[in-house]
Structure 1
Amino acid sequence: MFKTITIRNSFMRTTYTKLSLAITSTLLFNAPQVLAQQAETANVERIEVTGSRIKQTELEGKSPVQILDRDFIDRSGLSSIGDIIQNITASGSALNTKFNSSGNFGFPPDGGGVGAGATTVDLRHLGAKRVLVLVDGIRWVNESSASGVGGVVDLNTIPLAIVERIEVLEDGASSIYGSDAIAGVVNIITRKTDDKARFTSRVGQFTKGDGKNMDFELSFGGSNDKHSYFIAASYNEQEEVNASDRSRSSVPVPGTGVALGSSAIPAGRFLFTDPNTGANLDLVPNAGISNPQYDPALGASCNRTDDFHCFTNDDRFNFATYNLLQTPNKRMSLYTQQTYQLADDTSWYLRALYNQRNSVNQAAPEPFFIGTAAPTNFWADNITIAADNPYNPFGFDLISTGPGANLALAGRRPLEGGPRRFEQKVDTFYIATGMEGQFTASGQPIYWDINAAYSTNRARQDNYGSYNARRLSTALGPLATCQADPNCVPLDIFGEGSITAAMLNYIQPIVRDSSENKLSLYSVNLTGDIIELPAGPLSFASGWEFRKYTGEYNPDGLTVSGEYNGVVSLPTSGSLDVNELYLELSVPLLRDAALAEQLDLSLATRYSDYSTFGSETTSKVGIRWLLSDEMLLRGSWSEGFRAPNIGELFGSASGFDAVIADPCSNPANNTITANCSTLGVPVGYQQPNPQIGVITGGNRNLEPETSTSYNLGAVYSPQFAAQQSWSERLDIGVSWYQHELKGAIQALDAQTQLNLCVQTLSNTFCNGISRNNLGAINSFNNVLTNIGQIETSGFDFDINWLLPAAEHGQFSVNWRTTYVEDYKVLDANGVRQPKTVGIEVNNSGIPEWSSNLAANYNFEAWRVSWTMRYTSELIEECGGAASFAICGNTPLVGSNKLGSTTFHDVQLSWTTDAMFSGLQLSLGINNVFGKEPPVCLSCSLNGYDPSTYDMPGSRFWYLRASITL
């Protein structure tokens, strides 16, 4: 039995069967209310749903699509599209503004830069680059980040004010949309028109009194017989939260004090051999001493009577207090959409957007690491602190390399220069235009559209607080060399507070980097019915698409020349284009048959011809089996691919300072000790600096990643739970997925590569890693390649229960759970990597279970919603904290358990038409019980994983007012 209900949503009208309604409600978290309110008769038209190019009159799709409607968006209390999507259960670890990226994450091997201030999306833990982001079905430009040419979309470039809903396809779709759609597709559907003006304002902050967030949105529109328009302007400001304001993030690693802090300290640390006495020394100037005096007669003794003492862990610097837990972020946007009816069956549209983001990251004052014990760059590694430098207290040259070398390390943290601040300004421009309409062929309507779009993302980053290593060398070197430069001021690095403003002016520049990504796109699409078959119409979609990508990264001249106090980064520039043809068919097989009220087959194939590597063809087969009006089964098999992007292909050799624990420092066992000796590491070696310069870069010989995806699902809407006193409707859905990815484009994780090198001594892992005569790593090459494979599988479960409306109101429950059954990463040699289910590694985790339960209650003008967000436990290796008491809460030696976590969000809303044309007030608290995220000992910053959990001390309240005029 089919019950037909027609729903109108903006300009789109479509017909739903009873089960289609159930499927849609499974996808919509607040669907029961929305569908009940919208179920009214209207003309039937075909629409396009994410996952298929065929316009259809029903939403019983062959692929799982989760729809986040405007009500769900408003109920989240969040102000970023990326933050909202990151909260769904299928989401993996992705960048957001809780990552204090610049200065700590460096240049990744894909040439994409650090993405500071951006928010991205990851599905199925396959990485942000394997998710395709569309806006109204058209690709969005990738971010440029100011430090590289990115291969992912920064969702902070798309204002929330223009969003009608977000459709998330949790299945491979390369045959429908082309490259990047391996893990799924995020399609952001914009508002098309509005007959009224609306103003929305939101303000909120953490209950600790920081992290204030403000939103202002103004939109209006109108329409007549020929013309419709929509205009929106928005402003969002998010203030910073300092790491020092939370106990969790106020130390480098929770539970270890400053023991794992930096050896580059404000007073300076000096490891050298006195050439006159032969004493090996590791000295620090005493506190409060200016112009410290050195007594060589004391030899290597630590019972010193001069102005120095021997370095201990108590001297280490607590860099954590300078970091940010939440980075400041301002976004401003202006958007317009115009549609003009040229004829009865032809219309023209124009969409345009400008979005500006200003964001900041901050890190501790940039250290000097001089000498070969902690290699950084040519100038710092090959330096002489001259005996005639007026501030040298030792009376002899400190020479880092060459004849007479006696300096292993001079580490100095110049607090005088202030923290490193990375200020980004990112401008996004987008304009799209096209025509759409329909004609009749053989009595069947054929829908067509022609589109052209151009978009650019241009970013600039100004780095304050870094240093010129060449000038550092000059200012510390022979006095005559310094005097030959009229701007040079001899540098004093001996003792805290010793660096004057004049010294800083000589060695501290402003480093300015910029980058840009451009996307030009043209497409033509046709869809309609070919012939009428006994079971229904044979439908098709076909089309052509052309895209051109252009990108460039321009680092500061100091960085290119190698004078920057860090590793060298070179410019990147490149372009690629692709021509594509696709065909999609929907074939009805059975209708009104035994055990098959409807059985449909879908077929799709896409041919892509790239200017960089050649051609690729991907296909997809899907089936939809409607057993009855209560039960639907669906399944799909699809091929996918991801073409290497500009950064991956053309990224020049660049470097980054990776935080890596050297296994040869305090070896774990005798085997590691022996292997380290084979690698040339002396007995007793201690790693002086956990930041190791890693050289990475693109590879023009990269091939596309390829994948195979499977999906099986069922939706059950039982009659016994429909129109009952205890249940208006009950919908149950389950979906199984599997992705098999081959030829993954990546560089081996640097920590993993070093661990495997030390454990196996294999050239596969040790090639590119070299050490100096002190045992310190002085070269670490880590370039991109097509490496190994990724396999993952799991289940999604959905339960949606709507109780009958009654005098006392209406109640609904929406519960979505994702179970990750397996996740396996193999390198090119078939060696399994540590990233897997239930493991926290490299600032990201794959929880076995993720679950969101939302309960909603409506009574007259009032609505209350309660949401619970659950994440199951994770296990991590403790890294440098393995010897501390905080590590070891699991039976596994040297491991830490990140316990299961549940966050609770609540919102109360009141709506009235008595004021203006409509007023809605909402008061909400996210993390209402102030739940702390579990301690992460291996995470790079702030003592927790910001890609998986709410930040420490993060009970956040907000008040939102929406006025319709």
Structure 2
Amino acid sequence: MTDEGTSKFTRASLMSGKAFDRGAIMAGVDLMRSEATMASDLDFYKENAPYNITMAHADRLQFPDYQPVPVELPDGLCDRLDGMPNAELDGRCMRDSLDTISIFPKSEQVSLYINGRYDITDDIEASATIIGTDSTITSSAPFSGWRGTVINDLPGELNEGYSIARTFSHDELEPGGTSVEQTSWTFSGNIKGYFNVADSQWIWNFDYSKAKYESTQRSYILKKEGLVNWLFGDEDYIALNDSDDFFQVGNDFYQNGLLDNIFRPVSASEKDDLAGWQNVQGNSEADTFGFTLSGELTDFDVLYNPISFALRTEMSSQYTEIIPDERTLNGGWLNIGSLSSKGERDRKAIAVEFEIPVTEKFDVALATRFDNYSDASSISGAQTSQIRFSYKLLDEVMVRGGWSQTFRAPDMFNIYGESQGFNGVFDVTNENCYDQDGNFVCGATRITVTRTSDSSLKEESGTDTNFGIVWTPNTNFSLSATVYELDLEDLVSTENAQDLVNRQYSCQNGTLDPSSPTCQDVNSRITRDSINGEITDINVRPVNQQSMLQRGFDLIADYNYETDQMGLFYSRLTFSKYLAFDLERFEGEDTVDLRYGEPGLSTPSGRATFSLGWNKKLEGFQSVGMNLFVQRQGSTKNFRHTQYMEPYYVANLTGNYQYSSRLGFGLSINNVFAAEPQLNESGVWPNYWAHLQSPVGRSFNLSANYLF
């Protein structure tokens, strides 16, 4: 629960088990429920990030310049839509919609857990675990609405139109939002045994796991044909440019009935024809068989101890599908695209690792792995290897390091998935969108973005190198420092529509060779209107980017101190920082420095944490403890990356009290000092870095555990 009394979270768990002569069984149930937290519940949003939307507005567009002239709205319309006229915005009817936006969704979840173990013989044991989960997550979104232009059918100076905004209140239509119902279950089982080879014991293990996941997502959306019928009724109309927001109607209806028709209230009989629930079904399954053999080999009479080894083989299969409803496939929802996917993948792998104690102070580990894929992609398989070492220079000082190869196949959606949606892009190629000083002054253009899969993607590959030193002068203190470098090639990422437009601009101004394959490819995937040259469609796809280099260091310091009277005090300090984070998207393009992210998506180049804890044993089974954990995000940049923002701190405090062997209590206080997000000067709601900071102030969680 927060200071404002919102975001209430309740959880109850019950677990019981029984041990018998050769095994044990345990079962449990976990119930969880959290209330939705609305933006209007949080002081930060009310003070710094209001969300005002236009409920109703109309501008008359008149020949010859079509400059907008506000039209007086019908009497009582704004009150009926629960809005207020805004004098600063041409009298349009506005409403603060923070109470329609859920920052954290409402969620309910039930989980079942069963685990069993049985000793078949003295040297063979079996175990199995089943976990099932059923959950529903419901989020709320602002009102549904339509923005568009309607013109009359008269020629020349008699031609005019209306630019109209019409948002439907919750009294007219159901609240917008999304509900996701998810059901999943997993089974894992294994049989493990032991046998002796010479003087050592080897361990074998057969394992199998299966996971199944089903989800149904329901979203409340306006219907295309229902909206058009509601806007124009039985009147004739023409959808100009085959769009959903630009229409032409007869002049008689335009002059005498259009606005009254659009701004009328929605009747109960019209509601179901105007909007409905979109359904998208998702299913996935995974099966994995594995075998592991481990043990000790020999020391060859020269090593400090025998070589240890582990051999692992796996066979797995995956299946995934996303099934949209028929209206989605036919493009029947307003401003909502489609998403679909169906495919399968088989994988076989074998790996072996050796731990080699060369001397008392020097250890080496060698490993190699081979993966083979079978799916619609062109990837067949790859071998990756690694080497690690540790060497004790002194009793208090150890150095360690390693080198490894990395490999990652494209995920299945990049190979099988397709989607279509709507996005806004800035057409930087339009020469008319720049003022005398060269500043871009045009707004975003709304376009259709189609994302296709690509079975010709390469696998991501690279190397990971690290080297560190550990200093342990005594049993109470240790300090470690590690430097690392991650060098990746052929990173898989989905293109951004704006990046394609920017690249087309580079092709036009000569930064990139206009005759190059890159420019030819970009031009082929951007479609423009043949009359006015405006962008209408962009085709994006997953691509292999050229390379990424990440270099940095990590520091960790631990200290603990224990006395009989005061108990155990312990602390940890960590610090990590990027020294380099360079991305080369495509060959021939400039390298992008990502240490602080990019404009529109900033990240800190460094992070630090500090924890201080205390535990004290009391009488019998009683004990008490507490821990303070402080996080520091290093400086980030503002939205446009023109200046640095101050470091950001959050502190969390937890406490526990064990009353008996059966009963215990816990208390946690998150964000003890109620730190608020930093405004990033974006002008884009919610005006802070939502991926880095939370708008929730101080929150509390109380727990109790009792063993039956």
User: TM-score normalised to the size of structure 2?
Assistant: 0.84
What does residue 573 of structure 1 align with?
342
The 3 A distance-change label for structure 1 pair 786 and 759 is: closer
What does residue 212 of structure 1 align with?
8
What does residue 438 of structure 1 align with?
194
Asked if 1:850 corresponds to 2:607, the answer is: yes
Asked if 1:266 corresponds to 2:44, the answer is: no
Asked if 1:695 corresponds to 2:450, the answer is: yes
Is residue 800–residue 814 contact of structure 1 (8 Å, CA) maintained in 2?
Answer: yes
Asked if 1:945 corresponds to 2:697, the answer is: no
- Which structure 2 residues correspond to residues 84-99 of structure 1 after superposition, within 5 A? none
Asked if 1:656 corresponds to 2:414, the answer is: no
* Code of the aligned partner of 2:181: K
**Aligned-partner Cα distance in 2 for 1:699–1:447:** 43
The 3 A distance-change label for structure 1 pair 668 and 856 is: farther
Deviation at 1:544, TM superposition (A): 1.6
What does residue 104 of structure 2 align with?
326
**Aligned-partner Cα distance in 2 for 1:751–1:614:** 33
Asked if 1:707 corresponds to 2:462, the answer is: yes
Deviation at 1:829, TM superposition (A): 3.2
Is residue 494–residue 542 contact of structure 2 (8 Å, CA) maintained in 1?
Answer: yes
**Aligned-partner Cα distance in 1 for 2:669–2:427:** 43
- Which structure 2 residues correspond to residues 54-133 of structure 1 after superposition, within 5 A? none
**Aligned-partner Cα distance in 2 for 1:291–1:862:** 62
Query: Which residue among 537, 549, 553 is the counterpart of 1:791?
Result: 549
The 3 A distance-change label for structure 1 pair 836 and 857 is: same
**Aligned-partner Cα distance in 1 for 2:447–2:657:** 55
Q: Secondary structure at the match of 2:271?
A: helix
Is residue 268–residue 411 contact of structure 1 (8 Å, CA) maintained in 2?
Answer: yes
**Aligned-partner Cα distance in 1 for 2:566–2:332:** 72
What does residue 870 of structure 1 align with?
632
- Which structure 2 residues correspond to residues 465-864 of structure 1 after superposition, within 5 A? 466-477=221-232, 479=234, 498-533=265-300, 534-591=303-360, 597-611=361-375, 612=377, 613-652=379-418, 654-658=419-423, 660=425, 670=436, 685-687=442-444, 692-719=447-474, 722=475, 729-758=476-505, 761=508, 763=519, 768-772=525-529, 777-832=535-590, 836-839=594-597, 841-843=599-601, 845-859=602-616, 860=618, 861-864=623-626
**Aligned-partner Cα distance in 2 for 1:581–1:213:** 44
The 3 A distance-change label for structure 1 pair 406 and 336 is: farther
Query: Which residue among 268, 279, 282 is the counterpart of 2:68?
Result: 282
Deviations 1:407-445 (A, max 9, x none): 695443223334421000111110122211122234432
* Code of the aligned partner of 2:184: T
Deviation at 1:765, TM superposition (A): 5.4
Is residue 599–residue 624 contact of structure 1 (8 Å, CA) maintained in 2?
Answer: yes
* Code of the aligned partner of 1:603: A
**Aligned-partner Cα distance in 1 for 2:355–2:19:** 35
Q: Secondary structure at the match of 1:267?
A: strand
Is residue 681–residue 687 contact of structure 2 (8 Å, CA) maintained in 1?
Answer: yes
Query: Which residue among 9, 15, 26 is the counterpart of 1:230?
Result: 26
- Which structure 2 residues correspond to residues 191-210 of structure 1 after superposition, within 5 A? 205-210=1-6
After superposing the two structures, state which structure 1 stretch, 800-809 or 242-251, moved more: 242-251
- Which structure 2 residues correspond to residues 299-338 of structure 1 after superposition, within 5 A? 322-338=100-116
Asked if 1:957 corresponds to 2:680, the answer is: no
Deviation at 1:518, TM superposition (A): 0.9
Q: Secondary structure at the match of 1:437?
A: strand
* Code of the aligned partner of 1:514: Q
Q: Secondary structure at the match of 2:589?
A: coil
Unaligned runs of 5+ in 1: 1-204, 293-306, 372-384, 386-393, 483-489, 592-596, 677-683, 723-728, 879-891
Deviations 1:544-574 (A, max 9, x none): 2111110000112111001111243153211
Is residue 789–residue 827 contact of structure 1 (8 Å, CA) maintained in 2?
Answer: yes
Deviation at 1:278, TM superposition (A): 4.8
Deviation at 1:940, TM superposition (A): 6.2
Is residue 38–residue 98 contact of structure 2 (8 Å, CA) maintained in 1?
Answer: no
- Which structure 2 residues correspond to residues 442-457 of structure 1 after superposition, within 5 A? 442-457=198-213
Is residue 811–residue 858 contact of structure 1 (8 Å, CA) maintained in 2?
Answer: yes
Deviations 1:906-928 (A, max 9, x none): 22322222xxx332222221111
**Aligned-partner Cα distance in 2 for 1:429–1:284:** 57
What does residue 413 of structure 1 align with?
167
Is residue 355–residue 363 contact of structure 2 (8 Å, CA) maintained in 1?
Answer: no
**Aligned-partner Cα distance in 1 for 2:468–2:59:** 64
Deviations 1:284-331 (A, max 9, x none): 543443799xxxxxxxxxxxxxx9999759777755553222222222
Is residue 250–residue 321 contact of structure 1 (8 Å, CA) maintained in 2?
Answer: no
Deviation at 1:865, TM superposition (A): 1.6
Asked if 1:349 corresponds to 2:127, the answer is: yes
**Aligned-partner Cα distance in 1 for 2:227–2:686:** 31
Query: Which residue among 927, 932, 949 is the counterpart of 2:676?
Result: 932
**Aligned-partner Cα distance in 2 for 1:830–1:315:** 51
Identity %: 17
**Aligned-partner Cα distance in 2 for 1:278–1:285:** 18
Is residue 283–residue 310 contact of structure 1 (8 Å, CA) maintained in 2?
Answer: no
Deviation at 1:863, TM superposition (A): 1.6
* Code of the aligned partner of 2:409: A
Q: Which has the higher contact order (CA 8 A, sep 6+)?
A: 1
**Aligned-partner Cα distance in 2 for 1:344–1:528:** 18
Deviations 1:13-44 (A, max 9, x none): xxxxxxxxxxxxxxxxxxxxxxxxxxxxxxxx
The 3 A distance-change label for structure 1 pair 224 and 545 is: same
**Aligned-partner Cα distance in 1 for 2:540–2:154:** 32
- Which structure 2 residues correspond to residues 363-442 of structure 1 after superposition, within 5 A? 363-370=141-148, 396-397=152-153, 410-415=164-169, 416-442=172-198
The 3 A distance-change label for structure 1 pair 224 and 931 is: same
CA RMSD between the two structures: 3.4
The 3 A distance-change label for structure 1 pair 909 and 418 is: same
Deviations 1:584-635 (A, max 9, x none): 12223222xxxxx233232333343434421211111111223344222221
Unaligned runs of 5+ in 2: 79-84, 238-256, 513-518
Deviations 1:476-513 (A, max 9, x none): 4472679xxxxxxx997866563333333212121111
Query: Which residue among 34, 37, 41 is the counterpart of 1:241?
Result: 37
**Aligned-partner Cα distance in 1 for 2:702–2:571:** 24
Q: Secondary structure at the match of 1:531?
A: coil
Is residue 57–residue 73 contact of structure 2 (8 Å, CA) maintained in 1?
Answer: no
The 3 A distance-change label for structure 1 pair 443 and 807 is: closer
Asked if 1:909 corresponds to 2:656, the answer is: yes
Is residue 876–residue 896 contact of structure 1 (8 Å, CA) maintained in 2?
Answer: yes
Q: Secondary structure at the match of 2:306?
A: strand
User: TM-score normalised to the size of structure 1?
Assistant: 0.63
Is residue 130–residue 187 contact of structure 2 (8 Å, CA) maintained in 1?
Answer: yes
Deviation at 1:638, TM superposition (A): 0.9
The 3 A distance-change label for structure 1 pair 661 and 209 is: farther
**Aligned-partner Cα distance in 1 for 2:207–2:91:** 63
